[in-house]
Amino acid sequence: MSNNSPFLRQPASVQVVMLKVLAALLPGIAVYIHFFGWAVVVQIAIASVTALVAETVMLAIRKKALKPFLTDGSALVTAWLVALTLPPIAPWWLAVLGVLIAIVVAKHLYGGLGQNPFNPAMVAFCALIVAYPQLMSQWPAVGFTDFGAQMQAVFGHRDLDAVVMATPLDALRTALHTPEARATVSGVLGSHATFGNIGGRGWEWIALGYLLGGLWLVQQRVITWHIPAAFLGTLGLASLLASLASPDQYAGPAFHVLTGGAMLGAFFIATDPVSGSTTPRGKLIFAAGLALLTWIIRVFGAYPDGIAFATLLMNICVPLIDMSTQPAVFGHKGKQP
Amino acid sequence: MASYLFIVLGAVLVNNVVFVRILGLCPFMGVSKKLETATGMGAATTFVLTMACGASYVIDSWLLIPNHLEYLRTLSFIVTIAAIVQLTELVIQKTSPVLHQVLGIYLPLITTNCAVLGVPLLNVGLKHNMVESMLFGFGSAVGFTLALILFAGIRERLEGADVPVYFRGTAIAMITTAIMSLAFMGFAGLDKYK
Amino acid sequence: MLEALLVMALGSVILGGALGYASVKFRVEGDPLVEKIDAILPQTQCGQCGFPGCKPYAEAIAKGEADINCCPPGGEDGIHKLADLLGREFKPLSGEHGVEKPKSTAVIDENVCIGCTLCIQACPVDAIVGAAKQMHTVVASQCTGCELCLAPCPVNCIDMVPIPETIDNWKWKYPVFAVQKAA
Amino acid sequence: MRPLFGFTGGVKPASHKTESNQGGIVVAPLPPVLTVPLRQNAGLASRPLVQAGDRVLKGQAIAGPGGSISVAIHAPTSGTVRGIETHPIPHPSGLLAPCVVIEADGEDRWIERTPVDPYALPVEELRTRLRDAGVVGLGGAAFPSFVKTQHGPTQRIETLILNGAECEPFITCDDLLMRTQAGQILDGAAVLAHIAGAQRIVVGIEDNKPEAVAAMTAAAQRAGLLVEVVAVPTRYPAGGEKQLIRVLTGIEVPFGKLPPDYGVQCFNVATAYATARALLHGEPMISRLVTVTGNVERPGNFEVRIGTPIADLLKLAEPKADTDRNLMGGPMMGFALPTLDAPVIKATNCILAGSKAMFPAPGPEMPCIRCGSCARACPMDLQPFEMYWFSRAKILGKAQEYHLFDCIECGCCTYVCPSRIPLVDYFRFAKSEIRAREKENEAADAARQRYEFRLEREEREKQEKAAKLAAKAAETKAKLAQAGDADDKKALIAAAVARAQEQKAEEKPGVE
C-alpha cells in the first residue's frame, strides 16, 4: 500500500466490475437454456471449472498471489464467453481445450489480467473453429432440449446427426455460396421450418436477452455506449445497404443484428477494455471496423460467424487506433475563448 | 479493373505474405520493435518488391522464356533483386542515415527476404502479366508492411506488459504472430467469392 | 549455354553500372549517427570502455567495432537508450569494463595535497583548480566522477564521495507492486 | 451573472468541512523555540542574514532572497538566534534542511512596522516590498507572489482571479479567512491587481461555502470595488489553478504556458490577505491560518507562527489515540509527514490527522484493466492508464508522449481506480526520474564542452610549443651561420639557456 496521496479511495474493484458482467449475461443465458436445454449450463460449468484450475496453476507457476486474482472473476468471464460461443452439444474436451487456450496462451503468456492484447475467448473460438470446423458448427435444432441425449453427445460418443443442424447464419451462407442451388435469402430463411424471418427463430430471443443485460451494463457504467452503438449501427447499416441493393443475395439488418453472436459481441466481447480500444473516438472506429469485418466474413467468408475473427483483427489494430485517436489534452485543444 | 483490385486485396489480406504464406519472417521479427523502423522497413520492402516483380517479369518473359533459359530463373531473379536492394540501400543511406543504421543488417537482408524472391516466383506460377505481376508484388509488399506496422504497434505496447520471463522478447512475438495469423484466417474464402 | 552466359553477363554489366553510378551520386560524407550516440553517453570521459573518451567510443559503436554495454557510468539506462537508438537487443553491462556505481564526485583532502598538479593534468573536464605547489580543489558541479585523478595523485589525497541526497536532488521512488506479495 | 465553463472529469469525495469550520480562529500560543526553514518557497532557498547569538525582533528579516525567484524570511517572534541548524522540514522525503532556530524571549516585540500607501508608490517598489515581506502563494505551492505580478512583453494580466474554491476535503482555512477577513482580502486583491495592472477581479468560491460567498459579496459591495464574487460548482479539483481559470473564464492554460499568456493571473485568497498585511500594515509574513482536523477531538483553525513545531500545533486539537499518520495538506494532494518535529511553514494549510478507520488501506493493487475510469475522472483530459502502463515499465519517453507533465497530480485517477493502483505515485516517480535525467544530460553536455575545449587547448599548446621550438632552432642556426666560429660557443650556450627557460615555463600548468 502506498503512503502517498491521495489517501481517499472510492469503493470500487475489478471484482465488482467482473461480477456485474457475469450478472448481465444471465438473461441471455436463461433464454439460451430455454431454447437449447440444460446442456448450456453443463458447458458453462465445464468451462468455469477448467478456467479456475488453469488460472490457479498459471498463477502458481508465475508466483503471483492467488487470492486477489482468483476472486477477481476475470477468468469466469472468459470461461462463460467461451462456453456461450460453443455449440451446447460440443464434446466436453472442446470446452476444456478452448478455455485452456484462452487462459494459458492468450492471457497468462502475456502477463495475465490486463495485459493481453487479444480477447482470450475469441482466440479460443478462432483456434477451435480452425481446428475443429465440424464440431464447432454442430448445433442442435432449436427446441431440442432432451438433456439425456445432449449429455451423451457431450460426454459420450453418441452421434446426434438426427437433431444436428446448421445455425441460420451457416445455413444461409452455405446456400448462397452454392450457385447451383439458386437460393435466395427469403427462400432459405422463410422456407425452413425452424427459422423465423428475423434472426432465426429462437436466436432473436437470445439476442434480446443479451441486449437486456448489455443495456444494464451501460446503465451501471461498466461499459460505455460507444462500442455497442457503433457496432450495431454499422452492422445494421452495412446489411441494410446490401439488402436494399440485392434483397435476394443479402439478408437484412434485423437478421444480422439479431442472429449469431452479434448481440453478445456488441455488449460483451467488443467491450472488453483490455484488448479493445479505449479512447472515445477509438472505440467508435474499433466497433465500426469490427462490425464491417463481421459482416464481410459472414457474407463472403468461409466461416459461419465473423465476430471472433473480426474481434481478433480489430484487436490487432487497437494500438494504432488508440495512438491516432488520443483525445486532446487540457489546454492543447486549439481554440481558446 | 475489378480483377486488379482482387489481386491487390487478395495479396494484402487474404493471402498476406507474412500471416498466410509465412514468408519474410526474418525481417518481420527483426524490424518490428518500433513503429518508426517498421514503417521504414515496410516502405523499403514495398519499393524493392514492386520493382523486383516488374524486373523479374521483364527478365523472365523477354530473356529467359524466349531463349528457353527457364532453369536460370531463380539465379537471375536473385541477381536482379540483389542489385535493386543495393540501390535502395544507397539511396536510404544518403537520405536517412538513422533509418539506415536501424535497418542495418536488414536492408541487405531484403535480398534474402524470401518474400522478395517468393513473390516473383509466385507471379510466374500464377501466370500474371506485367501489370498483374507488379500489382501482385505491390499488394504483397503492402500486406507485408501492414503486418509489420500492426505487429510493431502491438510490440510497443507489449514492452510494458508483465510477460513471464521465459516468454519475453522473441518468444511472445512468435505467439503473437501465431494469433495474428489465426485472425487473418478469417479472410479465408474472400478471394474465391465472385 | 553461351546464351545463358551472355544473358547473365549482360545483366551483371547493366546492374553493375547502375550501382556504380548510384554509389557516386549518393555518396555519404561523415556519420551523423556518431553524434546521436555521443549524446547518450554520459561524457565522463573516463575511458573505462577502453576508448580514450566518449566520442571515440561512440565512433566505435557506430562502426560496429564496440559493443553497447561497455559504459559503466551510463549504466543500464544508457544501454537501454543505445539499444533503442540502434535497434539492438539490450544486454547487461559487461563486467570487464567495471560496474555501475552511485554518482560520486572527487574530493581532495586539502591538508594532504602537495600541489603537484598531476591531477589537474589528468582531469578531462578541467574541474580541478589550483596552481603548482598550492593545494588544489575540485569544482564539484563540474566533476563527472570519472576517477581519472585518483591514480596520478602521489599522496592519495583524493577520495570519491557519493553525492548525498538532499531536498534538491531527492526523487520520488518507484511504487512497490504490492500484489507480488501474498495478500 | 458570469457564465461558467466547468471542466471535464473531477470527483466528488465527501467534503468533511463542517468538522473544522464551525468555531472561530484560535491563536496558537508562542512556542519556546521556533525553527524557520530557509527553503519555504518554490524557486531558490533564501540566504540567511543572521548568525548564532544574534538578537532578532518579531518581523525582522532573518534571510534575504536567494535569487530572482526567492523571497525574504522573517523572525516570527523576538528572541535569540540559536544558530542555523539542519532540522527536519515538512517534506515527503523526510530529509533534513537548514533552518534558522530562534529561542523566543517571550516579549514578542515587533520591529518597527511601516505601512505604505500602495497607490502612491511605483509598482516596482511595491514588488520589492512584497518580496522583502516574504509573501508567497498560500494555496500550497508557495510560489513568490511578486513574481506572479510581473508579466513578459508578450503577456498581459487583465483579469485577476482570486482562488477561494478550497476544493480539498477537510481544509477550511480559506473558508474561515473569507468569513472573517473579507475586507482585508479584497484590499489585498486590489493592491495585487494594481501591481499586476489587472482591470478586473473575479473571486471563485465553491458553492459549499455559502457564508464565505456572502461575506465576500458583502465586503465587495461595501468597498465599492469592481469585484465579482462567483460561486462555482463544488467538484474536486475546482480549486486547481488551471481548473478555476477554466471554470471562470473558459481559458485553458496548457503545460508550459503561464496564465499571463492568456491575460489572467490567479492568487489564493490567503495570499491576498497576506499582501494586505504586508503593504497596508507593514507586517511581513510570519504566521498563517492552518486547519487542524481529521482524527482529532477539537478540530478547528489556528493562527500559527511559521516555525511552530507541528507536534505543538497538533496538541491544540487533541489528536485521538488511534491516529496513525499525520498529513500536511488535504487527503487528495497532501503528503504524510515523516516526522512531527518539522515546523509549520508558509505552505502549511492543513494538518490532517488520519487513522486506519478514516483512510482504510485500499485492497491489493491489481493490474490495470484499461477500464478508462481514470481517463473519465482526469480534469486534465489525460489518459492516465496509458501513462501508468509506460511509467510502470519505466519506458519514460513513451509516458512523456502521453503528456505526463500535464498531470497536476490531483489524485482523481487514483481515487476512482477499481484496481486500486496508486497511479499518481507512478507519475510522480516518472516525472522526477525524467527531471533527474534531464539534469544529467545537461551536466553531460557541459562536460562534453569542457572536454572538447580542453582537447582544443592541448592541441593549441602543442602546436605553439612546436612552433616556438622550430623558431628557436631556426634562430640559432641563423646566428651560427652569421657569427662564424668565434661566437659559436656563446650562441650555443645562449640557445641552451633559452631552451631550459622555455622548458621551465612549459612545466607550469594551465592555471584556471
Compute the average pLDDT of residues A31-57: 93
Q: How many domains are there within chain A?
A: 2
Distance from CA of B104 to the nearest CA of C (A): 9
pLDDT in tens, D362-380: 888 889 999 999 999 999 9
Domain boundary among C44, C69, C97: C97
Is the link from the previous residue into D259 a cis peptide, with omega within 30 of 0? no
Identify the segments of chain B with pLDDT beneath 50. Answer: 194
Name the grid cell of A38: 440444460
Q: B168 CB near a chain D CB, below 8 Å?
A: no
Compute the average pLDDT of residues D414-434: 93
Average pLDDT along chain C? 81
Which range in A100-104, C13-17, D251-255 is most confidently predicted, on average pLDDT? A100-104
Q: C170 CB near a chain A CB, below 8 Å?
A: no
Average pLDDT along chain A? 87
Same domain, A144 and A181: no
Q: How many domains are there within chain C?
A: 2
Same domain, A31 and A95: yes
Report the distance separating Cα B70 and Cα C4, nearest Å: 10
Compute the average pLDDT of residues D446-457: 89
Which chain C positions have a beta carbon within 8 Å of B101's beta carbon? Answer: 33, 62, 86-87
Same domain, C106 and C85: no
**The pLDDT value given to residue A22:** 95
pLDDT in tens, D140-185: 788 999 999 988 888 889 999 999 999 999 999 999 999 999 999 9
Secondary element (H or E) of residue D206? strand D200-206
More confident residue, A153 or D35: D35
Same domain, C154 and C112: yes
Q: Which chain A residue has its CA at the smallest distance from D91's CA?
A: A4
Domain boundary among C80, C97, C114: C97
**D287 has pLDDT over 80:** yes
Compute the average pLDDT of residues D82-97: 91
Report the distance separating Cα D180 and Cα D172, nearest Å: 12
Going by C-alpha positions, the residue among D438, D379, D445, D444 that lies closest to residue D407 is D379
Tell me the residue range of the domain where C66 lies: 32-97
pLDDT band at residue C180 using 50, 70 and 90 as cut-offs: very low
Q: What is the pTM of this model?
A: 0.88
pLDDT band at residue C183 using 50, 70 and 90 as cut-offs: very low
Same domain, A183 and A148: no
Q: How many CB pairs under 8 A join A and B?
A: 86
Measured in degrees and rounded to the nearest 5, phi and psi for residue D459 equal -60, -45
Secondary element (H or E) of residue A170? helix A168-177
Tell me the residue range of the domain where A302 lies: 176-323
Domain annotation covers residue A120: yes
C87 and B90 within 8 Å at the Cβ level: the answer is: no
**The pLDDT value given to residue D485:** 59
Rg (CA), chain B: 17
D450 and C183 within 8 Å at the Cβ level: the answer is: no
More confident residue, A262 or B40: A262
C179 and A67 within 8 Å at the Cβ level: the answer is: no
**D512 has pLDDT over 60:** no
Report the distance separating Cα A246 and Cα A184, nearest Å: 10
Decide if A329 contacts D406 (C-beta within 8 A). yes
Give the C window 20-59 contacts with D, CB below 8 Å. 38, 41-45, 53-54
**The pLDDT value given to residue A167:** 79
Same domain, A19 and A129: yes
**C59 has pLDDT over 70:** yes
Q: Which CATH number characterizes residue C131's domain?
A: 3.30.70.20
Measured in degrees and rounded to the nearest 5, phi and psi for residue D97 equal -150, 155
pLDDT in tens, D316-351: 999 999 998 899 999 999 999 989 999 999 999 999
Report the distance separating Cα D246 and Cα D238, nearest Å: 9
**The pLDDT value given to residue B184:** 93
Q: How many alpha carbons lie under 13 Å from residue B91 in its C-beta half-sphere?
A: 13
Chains touching D (at least 3 CB pairs under 8 A) are A, B, C
Q: D338 CB near a chain C CB, below 8 Å?
A: no
- Number of helices (H), then strands (E), in chain D: 13, 17
A2 and C181 within 8 Å at the Cβ level: the answer is: no
Q: How many CB pairs under 8 A join B and C?
A: 66
* E-only strand ranges, chain A: 139-140, 164-165
Same domain, A138 and A223: no
Which chain C positions have a beta carbon within 8 Å of D436's beta carbon? Answer: 169, 171
Same domain, A155 and A181: no
Contacts of D129 (CB under 8 A, 6+ apart): D116, D121, D278, D279
What residues pair up with D336 in beta bridges, in sequence order? D327
**The pLDDT value given to residue A197:** 54
Domain boundary among A135, A165, A195: A165
Q: Which CATH number characterizes residue C88's domain?
A: 1.10.15.40
Q: A118 CB near a chain B CB, below 8 Å?
A: yes
Q: A2 CB near a chain C CB, below 8 Å?
A: yes
Give the C window 105-144 contacts with D, CB below 8 Å. 117, 120-121, 124-127, 129-132, 142, 144
Neighbours of A208 (CB within 10 A): 16
Chains touching A (at least 3 CB pairs under 8 A) are B, C, D
Q: Provide the 3-class DSSP secondary structure of residue A90.
A: coil
Name the grid cell of D195: 501591481
Contacts of D444 (CB under 8 A, 6+ apart): C41, C42, C43, C144
Distance from CA of C39 to the nearest CA of A (A): 28
More confident residue, C16 or A15: A15
Q: C183 CB near a chain A CB, below 8 Å?
A: yes
Which of A128-137, C27-36, C163-172 is least confident? C27-36
Per domain, the residue ranges of chain B are 2-192
How far is CA D132 from its chain centroid?
17
Q: Percent of chain D scored above 90 by pLDDT?
A: 67
Distance from CA of C105 to the nearest CA of D (A): 13
Q: Provide the 3-class DSSP secondary structure of residue A282.
A: helix
C181 and A65 within 8 Å at the Cβ level: the answer is: yes
How far is CA A244 from its chain centroid?
28
Q: Which chain D residue has its CA at the smallest distance from A222's CA?
A: D371
Which one of B34, B187, B190, B192 makes the best mutation probe of the A interface by having the most chain A beta carbons within 10 Å?
B187
Domain boundary among A114, A144, A165: A165
Rg (CA), chain D: 30
Domain annotation covers residue C61: yes
Q: D389 CB near a chain B CB, below 8 Å?
A: yes
A336 and D329 within 8 Å at the Cβ level: the answer is: no
**A312 has pLDDT over 90:** yes
pLDDT band at residue A195 using 50, 70 and 90 as cut-offs: very low
**A144 has pLDDT over 70:** yes
pLDDT in tens, D385-398: 999 999 998 888 89
Report the distance separating Cα B126 and Cα B15, nearest Å: 13
Distance from CA of C9 to the nearest CA of D (A): 52
Q: D401 CB near a chain C CB, below 8 Å?
A: no
Domain boundary among C79, C97, C115: C97
**A1 has pLDDT over 50:** no
Q: D395 CB near a chain B CB, below 8 Å?
A: yes
Domain boundary among A139, A165, A191: A165
Q: C23 CB near a chain B CB, below 8 Å?
A: yes
pLDDT in tens, D36-64: 999 988 888 999 999 999 999 999 999 99
Which one of B33, B159, B163, B168 makes the best mutation probe of the D interface by having the most chain D beta carbons within 10 Å?
B159
**The pLDDT value given to residue A126:** 95
Which of B141-155, C162-176, D69-83 is least confident? C162-176
A330 and D422 within 8 Å at the Cβ level: the answer is: no
The complex scores an ipTM of 0.87
Q: How many CB pairs under 8 A join B and D?
A: 12
Same domain, A182 and A159: no
Decide if D231 contacts D257 (C-beta within 8 A). no
C167 and D91 within 8 Å at the Cβ level: the answer is: yes
Q: B164 CB near a chain D CB, below 8 Å?
A: no
Average pLDDT along chain D? 89
Domain annotation covers residue C91: yes
Domain annotation covers residue A4: no
Secondary element (H or E) of residue A257? helix A253-258
Question: What are chain D's domains?
Answer: 120-282 (3.40.50.11540), 373-467 (no CATH)
Report the distance separating Cα D92 and Cα C173, nearest Å: 11
More confident residue, B169 or D109: D109
* E-only strand ranges, D219-309: 227-232, 263-268, 287-294, 300-305
Decide if D290 contacts D313 (C-beta within 8 A). yes
Chains touching C (at least 3 CB pairs under 8 A) are A, B, D
**Euclidean distance between the first and the last CA atom of chain B, given in angstroms as a whole number:** 14
More confident residue, A152 or A265: A265
Report the distance separating Cα A131 and Cα D372, nearest Å: 36
Domain annotation covers residue C9: no
Distances (CA, A) of B154 to A318, A323, C168: 8, 11, 39
**A337 has pLDDT over 80:** no
Same domain, A220 and A116: no
Give the 3-state secondary structure percentages of chain B, helix then strand then coil, rounded to 5: 80, 0, 20
Same domain, C91 and C70: yes
